[in-house]
Amino acid sequence: RLLLQRRAFDKYHSGGLWANSCCGHPRPDEPIVEAAVRRTREELGLVTDLHEGFRFRYRADLDNGLIENELVHMMFGRPAGALAPDPAEVSSLRWMSLDGLARDIASTPSAYAPWLRLYVEHGLDDLSGALTALDAA
C-alpha cells in the first residue's frame, strides 16, 4: 500500500488534492536521500530510512497558471512510529493499494494532484516494483 496525503487546502497550488506521501526539493548541496528524510520529517512528522526506488520525469499544468517540469527521485521506506502531519502541509492521510488508487484516479481524476495521476498512468509498474522490493527487504 501507498501512503497518500491530502494537501492542505490553503497550499499555493493543488490545495485539497490527494498526492503522494511527501514532496520536496533538496537544498543546495544537500544529498537527495537526506532531503527526502528531512521533508518526510517536516511534512509527516516521521523519521524513517528511505531509499531511492526509481526516477520519474514529468511536466504538468497546475492550478493558478503554474507549470511543473521536474525530475523526481522516488523514495520508499516504511513508517517507524506514529505519523504527525504538519497541518500547514497536510489535511489528511490515507493508505491505498496501487490497484485501488488506479481505479479511484480513473473514476475521480480531479481529486488527485496532476503529478500523482501521471505517476500512476505512466509509472505504475515502477511503483509496484519498488513496493514489492520494499516488502521483500
Q: Which of 23, 42, 43, 68 is catalytic?
A: 23
Q: For the chain, how long is the longest CA-to-CA vector?
A: 42
Please state the pTM of the whole predicted model: 0.93
Query: Which listed residue (30, 34, 70, 121) is catalytic?
Result: 70
Q: What is the pLDDT of residue 81?
A: 85
The answer to whether residue 22 is catalytic is no
pLDDT tens digits, residue range 48-58? 899 999 999 99
C-alpha cell of 90?
497536510
Q: What residue ranges of the chain have pLDDT lower than 50?
A: none
For the question of residue 89 being annotated catalytic, the response is no
For the four alpha carbons of 109, 92, 22 and 70, in that order, the dihedral sign comes to: positive
